[in-house]
Chains A and B, each alone.
Chain A
Amino acid sequence: MSQKEKSDYFNIAIRPGSTPYFPGMLSNEAMTSQKMFELVGARFEKAQIVVNFADYSNGFWSEADLLRARKTLFEKQQKHNQIQEYTDSIMGRYEKIMSILENYYTLNDSAKTKQTTIAVYGEICDHYRTLCCFAYVANILNVVRDVRADLAKYVTAEEKLDEYVLELTRNPGANFIYDHDLELIEILDSIDKTTENNLAEHSKKWHSLFMGSIGKTKPYDGINKRISMFREMTSAERTKKKEEYLETLNKVRLSQDRLENNLGLSDETKASVSIVRDIILLKETRKFCMTRIISYFDKFAEDLGGLYNLSASLSRNIMPEEYTNGYLMTGQKITESSAEAIVNSSFYIFENGIGKRYLGEQVPQMIQKYDITFTGDVKVVPKGGSQQFKKKKTYKGFVACLGKYKGPVRLVEKLDDLNDFHEGDVLVTSITTPEYAVIFDKIKAMITFDGASLTSHPATLAREYKIPAILGVEDLYSVLKNGDIVEVDANNNRIRIF
């Protein structure tokens, strides 16, 4: 990777101290560096840190990496293998953590010493951090866009193109994983097979997020509905359902094959398409594993916190090394108040695959390390970035969805204009109505003039599609024309015209 490219993708991610997860991981994949710095800033009150990063990628490979791989069939095959490898590795780490927990729970109470519990935690953290930093594929949309451009060469009827892209890139296997259905069926079958009716016993075996719902002690929306659906089925019906799923997978695969052949795709294009499907599966696998581990881990966190009278949520914010030493990195003994204090005043940096905790006073050092300069005591901007935009007029409104995007303007003054909307355009319109649904996939940022309700349908849709959106801006129909470049910075409620 050349020097230039490297600087486009900071291999660093920062998050504030308290998240419900383990030390060293991000709380939210969609979080930008900027948002994280804002959160860090908000935590320290004095320093409102606002940073305009290019982008970040917290992982071993990135979107840029992926796009570079599209050149030859050989490179594609390599990438395909790599993605498979990552997917397997994630599953491997997941299974490892599950077996560690499983073993821990088969121990006698006398064998569950403080040392054992801490050692188990250390081991889990280790696997978990590795699992987390796999597969931060920065933005799959750009890869899909690339494939779309490739497919356009084969399709004469342009209106069919999106349909083909949708069909060829979907991976229903990923959906089933996310639905948890297969595992749910397995759990319910296992309960059916025993005469044991005591749900608490089962929950020891599975200690999963489903158990609360099956035992009806804790409502878990969504999953509840699937559980009641499966519970009403007999075991044979469930098996049938499982087979149906696998059959559907097969059917989709076959229909994709047919379409690929009908369109006469070259081996290279076929490889591009399959990479997208692989990535979807990879991302869903990762999501699946992380959700599941966190839910299983809850029970363990109580044991862990119990050693120091910490709540379960506080317990997972203490680093394994701190448990081993018995002292926090501030030098204080681990107590509820000292633990809470450090969680509220520290942040984690995930750097080149290693998560580490830093204290508040280290913020300026880190900022310096990553080439960001302070201006005054309340704002941080990137070097050279503060002068650039001073003279341009900016506009503001009401932010409905956070995010930032710079791209060409497309004015939609009447519904016919929707036909001219291209992938990557910034939508500028008085108001969106249900007819706009057909372009929501393509919109990368959105500016509207009439009304600024943040709970309205347009606002909800913008968030659903993760479109940076500023509503209730002054009428820009006469100010902007199609193709003008604007930057919609919804993180700072600011629209700039270039």
Chain B
Amino acid sequence: MSIILNFDEISKNDVAKVGGKGGSLGEMTQSGIPVPTGFVITTQAYISFHESELPSKIQKQILAKFDSLGLDRVAVRSSAIAEDSSSASWAGQFNTVLNVNREGLIDAIMDCWQSSNSETVKYYAKRNDISEDQLALAIVVQKMVNSNVSGVVFSINPVTGNKEEMMIEACYGLGEMLVQGMVTPDNYIVSKYDLSIREKRISNQTQKIINTVNGTETISIEQSQQSLQKLSDEKIFKLSKLVMLIENYYGCPQDIEWAIEDDELFILQSRPVTT
């Protein structure tokens, strides 16, 4: 059995092998949604090797797959089977390593595997009645998007529970700052009925995270840009259309990470809203 699968080789039924995140990226790739290209290292590899050294034969296979993508930099993300459960979000409990080059790839994978071993993960699993064998991790290796602007969309209003609107949040640079909650992003409420913008809250952003040769770095934002609207109305519309497509595909409200690199819009991941 292959322990490496391209996104376009993954189907709905592979969740046990590729985890929630991996499964959803595979499905989206196959339905033509613009997902950054990549592959998944299956849970089989985790089960066989996470407690020992990764055999050099497997390392070679992974690196060969990396080379075949023709990319300099990738994002390495954990993809848990348990993550797919609709009752627990696992928000932020597993590791993600950004902007990884060829040399750092194997370490980044090991780093993600390690995160399923943390005390907080064990506690969270216990609380949600999730058994340890469900903690097997698949690893997503994916083109690193050099985002100018990025963010998150909930295809419902997560605060009020209103299903007739979606909430978009946007910040400059990589989305990590937003996802971790370290920045106050722009917040747009869009009607799902006609995709019109119902509310806009523009926030001041002074710092952003960008990719560098050594990983990522936090830098200051030029004064003149700080208080501008991060995502143009036109882009909000474009993103909203994609969100509707994704939600219709899955048939339930989605929590979607997106990014824009040089005017091109990418969907980084999508998962069901848990609350």
Within 441-464 of A, Cβ neighbours of B (below 8 Å) are at: 441, 448, 450-461, 463-464
* Contact, CB under 8 Å: B13 / A228: yes
| B129 & A172 in contact (Cβ 8 Å cutoff) | yes
| B159 partner residues in chain A, CB cutoff 8 A | 399-402, 454, 463
User: If A454-B158, A460-B275 touch, does A432 touch B181 (CB 8 Å cutoff)?
Assistant: yes
Interface check B15, CB cutoff 8 A: yes
Given contacts A225-B15, A228-B13, contact A456 B179 (CB under 8 A): yes
Query: Nearest chain B CB to A397's CB is how many angstroms away?
Result: 9
Expressed in whole angstroms, the minimum distance between the Cβ of A362 and any Cβ of chain B is 26
B274 engages A441 (CB within 8 Å): no
Which residue of B92, B127, B171, B272 is within 8 Å of A434 (Cβ)?
Answer: B92
Interface pick from A102-110, A140-148, A216-224: A216-224
Contact B179 A457 (CB under 8 A): yes
How near does chain B come to A440, taking the closest CB pair, in angstroms? 9
Minimum Cβ distance to chain A for residue B119 (Å)? 8
Residues of B within 8 A of A221 (CB): 86, 250-252, 272
Contact B181 A457 (CB under 8 A): yes
Question: In chain A between 202 and 232, which residues have their CB closer than 8 angstroms to a CB of chain B?
Answer: 218-222, 225, 228
Contact status B185-A453, CB under 8 Å:
yes
Tell me if B91 and A461 are in contact (CB < 8 A): yes
Q: Is A236 an interface residue (CB 8 A)?
A: no
Chain B residues with CB under 8 A of A437 = 93, 120, 123-124
B26: min CB distance to chain A, Å: 15
Is B274 a contact of A464 with CB atoms below 8 Å? yes
B251, A455: Cβ atoms closer than 8 Å: no
Contacts of B134-182 to chain A: CB distance below 8 A: 151-154, 158-160, 167, 169, 171, 177-182
CB-based contact A453/B92 at 8 Å = no
B251→A219 contact, CB < 8 A: yes
On whether the beta carbons of B275 and A464 are closer than 8 Å, the reply is: yes
**Most chain-B CB neighbours within 10 Å: which of A433, A434, A450?**
A434
Please measure, in the bound complex, the distance between the C-alpha atom of A218 and the C-alpha atom of B250, giving whole angstroms.
11
A460 in contact with B180 (CB, 8 Å)? no
Number of contacting residues on A, CB 8 A? 41
Say if the beta carbon of B269 comes within 8 Å of chain A: no
- Residues of A within 8 Å of B13, CB to CB, are 228
Q: Which B residues lie within 8 Å of A228 (CB)?
A: 12-13
Within the complex, which residue of B12, B123, B154, B251 is in contact with A220, where a contact is CB–CB below 8 Å? Answer: B251
Q: Is the CB of A457 within 8 A of B180?
A: yes
Inter-chain CA distance A4–B255, complex, in Å, is: 45
Once A460-B255, A463-B275, A464-B91 are accepted as A-B contacts, the answer to whether A451 and B181 lie under 8 Å apart by CB is yes
Query: Interface code B116-134, partner A: CB below 8 Å = 1, 0 otherwise?
Result: 0001100110110100000
* Other-chain contact of A460, B183, B251, B274 (Cβ < 8 Å): B274
Q: Is A170 an interface residue (CB 8 A)?
A: yes
Q: Does B44 contact A (CB under 8 A)?
A: no
Tell me the bound Cα distance from A451 to B179 in angstroms.
10
Q: How far is the CA of A438 from the CA of B119 in the complex (A)?
A: 9
A438 touches B123 (CB 8 A): yes
> Is B93 a contact partner of A431 (Cβ separation < 8 A)?
no
Q: How far is the CB of A455 from chain B (nearest CB, A)?
A: 4
A398 contacts the other chain (CB 8 A): yes
A461 to B171 CA separation, bound complex (whole angstroms): 21
Interface size of B by CB at 8 A reads 44
A281 at the interface (CB under 8 A from B): no
Contact partners of B127 in chain A: CB under 8 A: 166, 441
Q: Which B residues are CB-close (under 8 A) to A166?
A: 126-127
Q: How far is the CB of B168 from chain A (nearest CB, A)?
A: 8
- Confirm or deny: A175 has a beta carbon within 8 angstroms of a beta carbon on chain B: yes
With both beta carbons as reference points, the residue of chain B lying nearest to A31 in the complex is identified as B161
Nearest B-chain residue to A454, judged by Cβ: B159
Contact B93 A434 (CB under 8 A): yes
- In the assembled complex, the CB of B83 is this many whole angstroms from the nearest CB of chain A, namely 13
- Asked if B42 is at the interface (CB within 8 A of a chain A CB), the reply is no
CB contact list, A4-54 vs B, under 8 A: none
The reply to whether B154 and A455 contact each other, CB–CB distance below 8 Å, is: yes
Pair B89/A454 contact, Cβ less than 8 Å? no
Q: Give, as a whole number of angstroms, the nearest-CB distance from B176 to chain A.
A: 10
Residues facing B in A161-194 (CB within 8 A) are: 166, 170, 172, 175
Least CB separation from B250: chain A residue: A221
Shortest distance from the beta carbon of A167 to any chain B beta carbon, whole Å: 9
Minimum distance in angstroms from A8 CB to a CB of chain B: 27
Q: Are B252 and A455 in contact (CB under 8 A)?
A: no
Within 182-209 of B, Cβ neighbours of A (below 8 Å) are at 182-185, 187
Is there an interface contact between A433 and B180, defined as CB atoms closer than 8 Å?
yes
Assess whether B5 is interfacial by the CB under 8 Å rule: no
Q: Does B110 contact A (CB under 8 A)?
A: no
A162 to chain B, nearest CB (A): 9
Q: Is the CB of B181 within 8 A of A448?
A: yes
Evaluate contact between B86 and A453: CB separation under 8 angstroms: no
The yes or no answer to A122 lying at the interface (CB within 8 A) is no
Q: Which residues of the partner chain B approach A360 to less than 8 Å between Cβ atoms?
A: none
Contacts of A219 in B (CB 8 A): 250-251
**Chain B residue at smallest Cβ distance from A461:** B91
* Contacts A172-B129, A222-B86, A401-B159 given; does A456 touch B251 at CB 8 Å: no
Partner of A402, one of B123, B160, B250: B160
User: Nearest chain-A residue to B252 (Cβ)?
Assistant: A221
Across-interface contacts of B129 in A (CB, < 8 A): 170, 172, 175
Asked whether A455 lies within 8 Å of B167 as measured between CB atoms, the reply is: yes
- Among residues of A, the one whose C-beta sits closest to the C-beta of B94 is A434
A417 within 8 A of B: no
Contact B182 A450 (CB under 8 A): yes
Does A435 sit within 8 A of B, measured CB to CB?
A: yes
Question: Which of B88, B183, B275 gathers most chain A CB within 10 Å?
Answer: B275
Contacts of B93 in A (CB 8 A): 434, 437
Known A-B contacts A437-B120, A464-B89; A453 and B255 likewise in contact (beta carbons under 8 Å): no
- Chain A: residues with CB nearer than 8 A to chain B? 166, 170, 172, 175, 218-222, 225, 228, 398-402, 431-435, 437-438, 441, 448, 450-461, 463-464, 471-472
The list of the 4 closest CB pairs from A to B, nearest first, reads A456-B181, A463-B275, A219-B251, A457-B92
In the complex, besides A453-B169, A457-B181, 11 extra interface pairs with C-beta distance below 8 angstroms are: A399-B159, A434-B93, A448-B181, A451-B181, A453-B185, A454-B159, A454-B167, A454-B169, A460-B158, A461-B91, A461-B92
- List 12 A-B residue pairs with CB atoms under 8 Å apart, sorted by A's residue number: A166-B127, A220-B251, A228-B12, A402-B160, A435-B120, A454-B167, A454-B169, A455-B178, A457-B180, A460-B274, A461-B89, A463-B159
